[in-house]
Amino acid sequence: MIYGFWNNKGGTGKTSLCFQSICFYANDHPDERILAIDVCPQANLSEMLLGGLTNDGSTNLLQRQGEFPRATIGGYFQERLPSPYSPPTFDANDFITQPASYNHAIPENVDLICGDPLLELQSNAISTLANTQIPGTDAWVAVVDWLRDLLEPIDDTYSTVFIDANPSFSIYTQIALAAVDRMVLPVMADDSSRRAVQNAFSLVYGLKLPSEIYATYAFATRLSKADRSLPQAHIIAKNRLTQYMGPASAYGAVLKSIDQDVEALLKAHGDKFTFTDIAEGVVDIRDFQTTGVVAFARGCPFYQLQSGRLDVMGQRIQVNEPYRVQCVEAMEELVKKL
């Protein structure tokens, strides 16, 4: 099963949720091998898995980017640029890192394909290749299959794959989503998040496009034409909620409207979802606040994090135990739906 954490709106806590989900899921399933793929040029997921801000995560990531071949998703894409329409001979293991060898807080059954800022430099070249007209070849499908091509030889190794996708709909994000079975869509209690839900369904499924002209070139149209399945929406994660977001608040009104939008989509396009009732697919996540800041700075899952005063870059920061427990419970609620 391949899960993709994505929203075309930034700032929804997507990477934070993805990091904790990977760790919690792997910890709950010690007999499974889990693969995390960071398809984001910021590579924040990779830095957290490799140690975080305080434990040399950035340095460890730079080391992997300096390998030959480059041990990142960008390194794999670099191998594909000269051979975009048919897979060259490659060893998928060249691009895989074991985070636990750098960061002891990460379960040993987690492997990682690191993110890479090179993706932004590669994007124009990849888009050009995807839109090349070649008789007898669907160039776009061949390109968006790159991640599928990478996973195919290691398919028997990993039971579950987590993909952290960039908050965009650029070509490398399309490559990521084309490989995904189930989407986790984080949203926040603001109007831009409400629009982001609508935009996400337009981009992925081609719903409510302003013109038939766009439909011809839509992601869903092109995948369906090639007999490829689309990812299904699996979880809507209402993230970073606070005690001020009660039903009588402005925030509460926005959250209710998000539910209404999802219910309308569910009724009209049920095949785009893995759930039939909104209660099955929506998870409320309280704001992680200081606990989250410390956990991500240290590259540490909540269940491993100690409470009390902890050092973060020379500052002593208080982690409240009851709040840490709430963070653990929130992630357990999300992960049990995976």
Instruction: Report the distance separating Cα 161 and Cα 158, nearest Å.
Output: 7
State residue 290's pLDDT score: 84
Confidence of residue 172 (pLDDT cuts 50, 70, 90): very high
Tens digits of per-residue pLDDT, 248-303? 566 667 777 888 888 888 888 889 999 999 889 988 888 888 888 888 989 999 99
Are 186 and 11 in contact, with CB atoms under 8 Å apart?
no
Helices assigned H by DSSP within the chain:
14-28, 44-49, 57-65, 73-80, 118-130, 139-144, 146-151, 171-178, 191-205, 212-217, 219-225, 250-268, 278-281, 289-298, 321-335
* Nearest C-alpha neighbor of 19 from the set 55, 47, 41: 47
Are 285 and 240 in contact, with CB atoms under 8 Å apart?
yes
Q: Which range (4-18, 95-109, 229-243) has the least confidence?
A: 229-243
Are 2 and 180 in contact, with CB atoms under 8 Å apart?
yes
State residue 215's pLDDT score: 67
Q: What is the pTM of this model?
A: 0.93
Tens digits of per-residue pLDDT, 57-104? 999 999 999 999 999 999 999 999 999 999 999 999 999 999 999 999
Domain ranges for the chain: 2-335
Pair of tokens at residue 272: 């785009």
The answer for residues whose C-beta is within 8 angstroms of residue 224's C-beta and 6 or more apart is 230
The per-residue DSSP string of 240-256 comes to: EE-TT--TTSHHHHHHH
Instruction: Report the distance separating Cα 59 and Cα 16, nearest Å.
Output: 20
As a CATH number, domain 2-335 is: 3.40.50.300
Are 81 and 146 in contact, with CB atoms under 8 Å apart?
no
State residue 210's pLDDT score: 54
Q: Cα 220–223–226 angle (5° rounding)?
A: 145
Q: Cα 292–8–96 angle (5° rounding)?
A: 65
